[in-house]
Structures are given as structure tokens and as C-alpha cells.
């Protein structure tokens, strides 16, 4: 599937993401050397994988851990998600995100 990252200045980067490897969006971003620290390694406790969803196909609802974490981020928006909690599935094709800076 295609994941699109909108960067500062409006350029868009298209990433190919396989759906058969059980990857998360965070892991795909990291694999492309984008600025995602993901310090906790996907445990939903560090929020350094925070993205804002600009255009989305169907996304699963965030789990309790993710909601709790996002609520603690002062700069989170209604479209914020933790990219480590989004598993790459065919439903995510065409997802457009912006990588959020740390607070
Ligand atoms: Fe730490 Fe996502 S990698 S919350």
C-alpha cells in the first residue's frame, strides 16, 4: 500500500508499505529514515511516534493506551495518532500523515 508523508513546505513523500509483515506505520517511517524516534519501541508510552492524520481511509479506533497517551500531549489534535499503534493493513492505503514535532 501507499503511505504518504506530508513534510514541511508541503512536499509529499510516498512510501511503499507491505501489508504482509505485521509492521506498524511507525516501523515503516523509521525504515525510511524519517524523523521518528519511537523511543519506547511501540509500547504507546513515549509518544515520540506522534503523527497527525491529514487524510485517512478507514482507521481503526485508538485503544485505551493510545487515547490516554494522546490526551497527555499538549499539542495533540483531534487527528493525532500514535503511529506505533497503527498496523499496516490494506485499509490504510492512501493514508496521509504529518510527523509531529515533540512538544
Ligand atoms: Fe513510543 Fe509509539 S513508539 S508511543
User: Is 4 or 10 the better-scoring residue by pLDDT?
Assistant: 4
Contact 46, 38 (CB under 8 A): yes
ipTM: 0.99
What is the share, in percent, of the chain residues with pLDDT greater than 70?
A: 99
**Contact residues of ligand 1, CB 6 A cut-off:** 26, 38-40, 42-49, 82, 84
> Which domains are seen in the chain, by residue range?
2-99 (3.10.20.30)
Say whether pLDDT at 103 is over 90. no
* Closest ligand 1 atom, residue 50 Cα: 2
d(CA 55, CA 75): 19
List the residue whose alpha carbon is closest to atom 4 of ligand 1.
44
Contact residues for 24 (Cβ-Cβ < 8 A; gap 6+): 42, 83, 84, 85, 86, 87, 88
Number of CB atoms found within 10 A of residue 97's CB: 22
How confident is residue 101, by pLDDT bands cut at 50, 70 and 90? confident
Ligand 1 center to 43 CA (angstroms): 6
What digits encode the pLDDT tens for the residues 31-76? Answer: 999 989 999 999 999 999 999 999 988 899 999 999 999 999 999 9
Amino acid at each position: 500500500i501507499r503511505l504518504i508523508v506530508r513534510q514541511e513546505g508541503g512536499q509529499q513523500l510516498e512510501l511503499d508499505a507491505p501489508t504482509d509483515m505485521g509492521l506498524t506505520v511507525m516501523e515503516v517511517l523509521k525504515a525510511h529514515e524519517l524523523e521518528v524516534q519511537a523511543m519506547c519501541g511501540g509500547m504507546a508510552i513515549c509518544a515520540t511516534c506522534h503523527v497527525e492524520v491529514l487524510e485517512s481511509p478507514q482507521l481503526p479506533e485508538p485503544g485505551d493506551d493510545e487515547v490516554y497517551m494522546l490526551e497527555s500531549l499538549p499539542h495533540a489534535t483531534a487527528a493525532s495518532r500514535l503511529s506505533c499503534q497503527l498496523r499496516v493493513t490494506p485499509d490504510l492505503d492512501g493514508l496521509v500523515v504529518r510527523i509531529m514535532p515533540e512538544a
